[in-house]
């Protein structure tokens, strides 16, 4: 089939033409119309569809800007495959990424293309600078001569890269359509008018959460504010100005809002906050509700799943939170969940093992996917994620789950965030070490934190060293960059604080 005529592509095209002069994207205090968005989208679409070989892999150096939204939509309307490139990884790593992929075409800001696409490379280049600008492919030879991309793939999506270098996962047009339109996108009715409410997109487009949020808004004909990144002041101004009914915050951002000077009046109109991508403690969720009167609906998702597979609904939260606190909710979107032992035998309700998933958005022929997450599912179907098996720390024969230690550290009133990793130890095998970021204006020493942990953890779980830093390094999705945390503790230049 032609993926330029897929249900997802048709829905995007229908919405762009629905009410062309109404507002589509607010960026840096300026509104852009659907007509302006469609203009660049169609120019990119024509460039993608211009050559006879058909579908192509198109790299996009994605930033949270309106022209990058248009480029992304244009590739989908042209039936191409978007290869997500992160220009913020650092020039050397991003340049090596582009070179290794041998992409026939790379789209991005002119400065990014100059810095990250080597002269004489295999890639043609398409510079974008604004929604109203004309575009032209430079060095089109590689683009004209390239082979078609694998059939059905809409996005080669970067994973978050929490524990190591980001990987790429293929997400098909079918999966995207089921994720953002519904389980039967071919039968779903297109919007007949634009939504009145304005959403806020603060997740990065190089992460699956940003892509989904943008596509959810576009396919539902909902205008949205696009923030270059999550920054408390600009996010709060957008919330006050547009009073969205729902906001989406990764745990690190939610904790920033929680510990800020914002009041209930600042978040008036918000009925729910959703949170995913990383663990959020029940204590933080409850503190957020106590401060703002807004329930936090956590979820469980992964790039490999093509989206979410479990989450809280508002009715479930109202009925069950007190009894099921700490859970990430129940299966959603037609997903199936089970817990197995190391041999693959299915465990009974309430037992702890490895989580396996059949994501609903992967379609009826999907098979069970083994995760690296320890989990349990109770008799009512509520799921608890208990930590990653591949991150368990074995200290002298005792198993330590880093998330347990992280959660305990984040329970200290001075701590904004923490990250816990293993460090090799010649006697014990490995020991936990922690990087800690304090709240603005707060003070605490490594010794203070160790004393706090003694009432909450077993002695062997207390980190052997704790480094108090200005900012924990994070991935684009807001998770701690554990590889960078490990490098910090292995660096001869680091002088981490010791708890005792």
Query: Residue 313's pLDDT is what?
Result: 96
Query: Residue 160's pLDDT is what?
Result: 64
To the nearest 10 degrees (0 to 180), the angle between helices 7-18 and 208-219 is 60
Q: How many independent structural domains does the chain possess? A: 2
Would 262 be classed as within a structural domain? no
Which whole number is the average pLDDT over 191-200? 94
Compute the half-sphere exposure of residue 79: CA atoms within 13 Å on the CB side of its CA.
18
Would 416 be classed as within a structural domain? yes
Nearest to 198 by CA among 254, 253, 249, 241: 241
- Residue 433's CATH number: 3.30.300.30
Query: Residue 496's pLDDT is what?
Result: 42
Measured between alpha carbons, how far is 369 from 347 in angstroms, rounded to an integer?
Answer: 16
Q: What is the 3-state secondary structure (H, E, C) of 191-258?
A: CCCCCCCCEEECCCCCCHHHHHHHHHHHHCCCCEEECCCCCHHHHHHHHHHHCCCEEECCHHHHHHHH
Q: Where are the alpha helices (DSSP H) in 333-429?
A: 402-410
Measured between alpha carbons, how far is 180 from 87 in angstroms, rounded to an integer?
Answer: 26
What is the average pLDDT score of the chain? Answer: 90
Measured between alpha carbons, how far is 389 from 399 in angstroms, rounded to an integer?
Answer: 10
Lowest mean pLDDT among 32-36, 112-116, 255-259, 386-390: 386-390
Query: Residue 163's pLDDT is what?
Result: 54
Largest distance between two CA atoms of the chain = 69
Q: Which of 131, 165, 180 is the last residue of a domain?
A: 180
- Given a cut of 90, is residue 234 above it in pLDDT? yes
Distances 413 to 115, 253, 401, 435 between C-alpha atoms, Å? 43, 17, 22, 16
Would 315 be classed as within a structural domain? no
Measured between alpha carbons, how far is 98 from 115 in angstroms, rounded to an integer?
Answer: 11
Tell me the β-bridge partners of 423. Answer: 431
Give percent of the chain with pLDDT exceeding 90: 69
Pair 424, 392: CB distance under 8 Å: no
Q: Which of 126, 154, 180 is the last residue of a domain?
A: 180
- Given a cut of 60, is residue 500 above it in pLDDT? no
Cβ count within 10 A of residue 78: 23
Q: What confidence tens digit (pLDDT) does each residue in 443-498 have?
A: 999 999 999 999 899 899 999 999 999 999 998 878 899 989 999 998 734 444 44
Query: Residue 399's pLDDT is what?
Result: 84
Would 63 be classed as within a structural domain? yes
- Given a cut of 90, is residue 122 above it in pLDDT? no
- Given a cut of 90, is residue 146 above it in pLDDT? no
Q: How confident is the model at residue 161 (pLDDT cuts 50, 70, 90)?
A: low
Distances 355 to 298, 338, 344, 385 between C-alpha atoms, Å? 17, 6, 10, 9
- Residue 99's CATH number: 3.40.50.12780
> How many residues are there in the chain?
500
Would 87 be classed as within a structural domain? yes
Would 343 be classed as within a structural domain? no
Annotate 98-116 with DSSP letters as a single string.
HHHHT-SEEEE-HHHHHHH
CA 225, distance to chain mean position in Å, is 17
Would 276 be classed as within a structural domain? no
Would 94 be classed as within a structural domain? yes
For residue 408, what are the domain limits?
392-490
Measured between alpha carbons, how far is 156 from 172 in angstroms, rounded to an integer?
Answer: 9
- Given a cut of 80, is residue 369 above it in pLDDT? yes
Cβ count within 10 A of residue 490: 12
Query: Residue 252's pLDDT is what?
Result: 85
Q: What confidence tens digit (pLDDT) does each residue in 399-433 have?
A: 898 999 999 999 999 999 999 999 998 888 899 99
Query: Residue 8's pLDDT is what?
Result: 95
Lowest mean pLDDT among 135-144, 210-219, 326-335, 356-365: 135-144
Burial class (CB in 10 A: 0-12, 13-18, 19+), 272: middle
Give percent of the chain with pLDDT exceeding 70: 95
Q: Which of 157, 180, 203 is the last residue of a domain?
A: 180
- Given a cut of 70, is residue 53 above it in pLDDT? no
Global pTM value: 0.84
Q: Which residues contact 277 (CB under 8 A, 6 or more apart)?
A: 160, 207, 209, 250, 251, 301, 477, 478, 479
Q: What is the CA radius of gyration of the chain?
A: 23
């Amino acid at each position: 089939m032609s993926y330029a005529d897929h249900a997802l592509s048709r829905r995007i095209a229908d919405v762009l033409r629905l009410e062309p002069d109404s507002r589509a994207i607010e960026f840096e205090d300026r509104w852009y119309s659907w007509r302006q968005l469609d203009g660049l989208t169609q120019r990119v679409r024509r460039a993608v569809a211009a050559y006879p070989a058909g579908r192509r892999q198109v790299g996009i150096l994605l930033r949270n800007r309106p022209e990058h939204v248009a480029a992304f939509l244009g590739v989908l309307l042209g039936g191409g495959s978007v290869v997500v490139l992160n220009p913020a990884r650092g020039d050397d790593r991003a340049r090596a990424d582009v070179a290794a992929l041998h992409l026939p075409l790379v789209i991005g800001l002119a400065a990014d293309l100059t810095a990250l696409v080597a002269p004489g490379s295999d890639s043609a280049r398409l510079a974008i600078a604004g929604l109203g600008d004309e575009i032209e492919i430079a060095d089109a030879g590689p683009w004209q001569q390239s082979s078609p991309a694998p059939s059905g793939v809409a996005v080669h999506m970067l994973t978050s890269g929490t524990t190591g270098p980001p990987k790429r996962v293929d997400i098909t047009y079918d999966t995207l359509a089921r994720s953002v339109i519904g389980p039967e996108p071919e039968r779903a009715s297109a919007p007949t008018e634009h939504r009145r409410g304005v959403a806020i997109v603060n997740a990065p487009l190089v992460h699956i959460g940003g892509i989904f949020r943008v596509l959810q808004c576009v396919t539902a004909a909902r205008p949205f504010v696009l923030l270059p990144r999550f920054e408390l002041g600009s996010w709060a101004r957008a919330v006050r100005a547009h009073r969205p009914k729902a906001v989406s915050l990764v745990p690190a951002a939610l904790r920033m809002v929680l510990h800020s000077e914002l009041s209930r009046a600042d978040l008036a109109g918000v009925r729910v906050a959703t949170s995913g991508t990383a663990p959020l403690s029940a204590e933080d969720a409850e503190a957020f509700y106590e401060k703002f009167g807004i329930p936090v609906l956590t979820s469980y998702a992964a790039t490999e799943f093509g989206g979410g597979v479990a989450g809280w609904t508002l009715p479930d939260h109202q009925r069950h939170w007190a009894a099921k606190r700490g859970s990430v909710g129940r299966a959603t979107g037609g997903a199936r969940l089970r817990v197995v032992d190391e041999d693959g035998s299915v465990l009974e309700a309430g037992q702890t093992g490895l989580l396996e998933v059949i994501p609903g958005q992967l379609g009826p022929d999907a098979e069970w996917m083994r995760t690296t997450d320890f989990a349990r599912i109770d008799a009512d179907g509520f799921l608890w994620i208990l930590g990653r098996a591949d991150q368990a720390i074995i200290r002298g024969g005792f198993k330590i789950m880093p998330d347990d230690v992280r959660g305990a550290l984040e329970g200290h009133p001075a701590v904004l965030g923490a990250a816990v990793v293993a460090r090799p130890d010649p006697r014990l095998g490995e020991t936990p070490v922690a990087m800690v970021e304090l709240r603005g204006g707060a003070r605490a020493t490594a010794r203070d934190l160790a004393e706090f942990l003694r009432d909450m953890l077993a002695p062997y779980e207390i980190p052997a060293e704790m480094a108090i830093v200005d900012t924990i390094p994070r991935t684009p999705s807001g998770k701690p960059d554990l590889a960078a945390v490990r490098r910090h503790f292995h660096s001869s230049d680091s002088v981490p604080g010791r708890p005792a």
